Chains A and B, each alone.
Chain A
Amino acid sequence: GAGVSQSPSNKVTEKGKDVELRCDPISGHTALYWYRQRLGQGLEFLIYFQGNSAPDKSGLPSDRFSAERTGESVSTLTIQRTQQEDSAVYLCASSPPGTGFVGEKLFFGSGTQLSVL
């Protein structure tokens, strides 16, 4: 594919339900990130995956949030027992392997707009 793909683009759910958000990164990108963006707010780091290393989960706001990634492919972000404060846009991004310097351009998906009623 041409870019990072996220699905669904919109998700409306009832409080207490579980949701699963999907991200397809750009092929060959070893790093994958999840960010949360509340309305009018900045980008809040949630979790990132780098190759086969253990993920950095330091940004997950509670144990209701979890994410998985299979190798260097698809990732899913799961939110259990959703709460109204979980309503936000969930953005996924991927980046290629570093070339000596740590730090490479992030390619963002279009996000999933999650609304918890």
Chain B
Amino acid sequence: GENVEQHPSTLSVQEGDSAVIKCTYSDSASNYFPWYKQELGKRPQLIIDIRSNVGEKKDQRIAVTLNKTAKHFSLHITETQPEDSAVYFCAASITGTYKYIFGTGTRLKVLA
């Protein structure tokens, strides 16, 4: 079946440093890749997404890159701040459906 792998499961960085989270997907026809941030006790919220017709997308301190050939995509957070501490989930759409498969999550801790 369809699968999304996410690494690392936990990540600690110093404030101001960059953080990178990587995901790989199995369905070569997946065409939509969102990233969700879930703060402790709160609902997941979309922070950035990318569609298969582009290779990179930026929004201020966050960016996502997509390599369709290798079937992987990454989240990059620059100049990290304590409020970036959360669990981040990647996801991939399943071809021909509105179904999404999520990665297992990365717990990011930004140390002040």
Contact = CB atoms under 8 A, between A and B. Distances in A.
Interface of A: 31, 33, 35, 41-45, 48, 50, 56, 91, 95, 98, 101-106, 108-111
A78 to B, nearest CB: 21
A108 B34 CA distance: 13
B99 A45 contact: yes
Contacts of B102: 35, 42-45
Contacts of A45: 99-102
A109 B96 CA distance: 25
Nearest to A33: B100
Given A103-B98, A110-B43, 8 more contacts: A48-B99, A102-B32, A102-B95, A102-B97, A103-B34, A106-B44, A108-B43, A111-B43
A25 to B, nearest CB: 13
A93 B49 CA distance: 16
A104 B98 contact: yes
Tier of interface size on chain B: 20 to 34
A111 B45 CA distance: 13
A103 B43 contact: no
B31 A102 contact: yes
B105 A41 contact: yes
A110 B43 CA distance: 5
A101 B29 CA distance: 12
A41 B104 contact: yes
A110 B41 CA distance: 9
Contacts of B95: 102
Nearest to B43: A108
Contact of B100 (A41, A106, A110): A106
A72 B101 CA distance: 22
Contact of A106 (B42, B46, B51): B46
B73 interface: no
B25 interface: no
Contacts of A104: 32, 98
Nearest to A111: B43
Nearest to B103: A42
